[in-house]
Chain A
Amino acid sequence: AQSVTQLGSHVSVSEGALVLLRCNYSSSVPPYLFWYVQYPNQGLQLLLKYTSAATLVKGINGFEAEFKKSETSFHLTKPSAHMSDAAEYFCAVILGDMRFGAGTRLTVKP
């Protein structure tokens, strides 16, 4: 079974619209969850992480995510999309080492 599952391989929004990228985690994994962003032909950059402190986590570039244990979810949001947000986004969990979801490609339309 997947440790983390990202719903939607591709999300398209208009510039200025809400961004919502979905991630559900297996209830058997430790609740150390991460979101990474990857721009074309580059490595992964950490956006934010949840480590059992506040359930609402704020990250870089205006992104935030809320840990919901009852829903086993850790969805990533941003109130207003910018063209520069277009990238691949990965949800990840630590299981000995970092394990990643399949990724969601975000497209931002002008």
Chain B
Amino acid sequence: DAGVTQSPTHLIKTRGQQVTLRCSPKSGHDTVSWYQQALGQGPQFIFQYYEEEERQRGNFPDRFSGHQFPNYSSELNVNALLLGDSALYLCASRPVGARTTEAFFGQGTRLTVV
């Protein structure tokens, strides 16, 4: 059973560019969430997708957007990159409506903005 998979594992972008990160959830999961983890900090919730719609959103600007596809996979897009967007981006999946079920995480995508 494949867990949560993310691609790419690493990438380097220039300030002002746009980036797209991809995530495939764990089999049987239909809810995907994205987190930003800056160096030395805990993961910060960006947003959650279910049934191809954004259901919840953390305190992130509109430069951060996402999409969920019919097969439950998801993309995170960040426009007009800033140096401060450099971080590990984590994708997590859960079964919908499972109040007590933990999130399963991918290995993350390390984004460096130069």
Question: Which residues of A are interface residues toward B (Cβ below 8 A)?
Answer: 30, 32, 34, 36, 41-46, 49, 51-52, 90, 94, 96-103
Contacts and interface: CB of A to CB of B under 8 A. Distances in A.
Which of A45, A90, A94, A101: most chain B CB closer than 10 A?
Answer: A94
Nearest to B41: A102
Interface stretch (B11-19, B61-69, B72-80, B95-103): B95-103
A51 B100 CA distance: 6
B81 interface: no
B20 interface: no
Given A96-B56, A97-B56, A102-B41, A46 B106 contact: no
Interface in B5-40: 33, 35, 40
Contact of A43 (B42, B99, B108): B108
Contact of B45 (A32, A45, A99): A99
B107 interface: yes
Contacts, number: 54
Contact of B42 (A30, A46, A100): A100
Interface size class of B (residues with CB under 8 A): 20 to 34
Given A36-B105, A44-B43, A98-B102, 17 more contacts: A30-B99, A32-B99, A34-B102, A41-B88, A41-B108, A41-B110, A42-B108, A43-B108, A46-B102, A46-B104, A49-B102, A51-B100, A90-B43, A96-B48, A100-B35, A101-B42, A102-B42
Contacts of B102: 34, 46, 49, 98
Interface string B80-93: 00000000101010
B100 to A, nearest CB: 4
A44 B105 contact: yes
A32 B106 contact: no
B33 A97 contact: yes
B108 A100 contact: no
A97 B107 contact: no
Contacts of B42: 90, 100-103
A101 B45 CA distance: 11
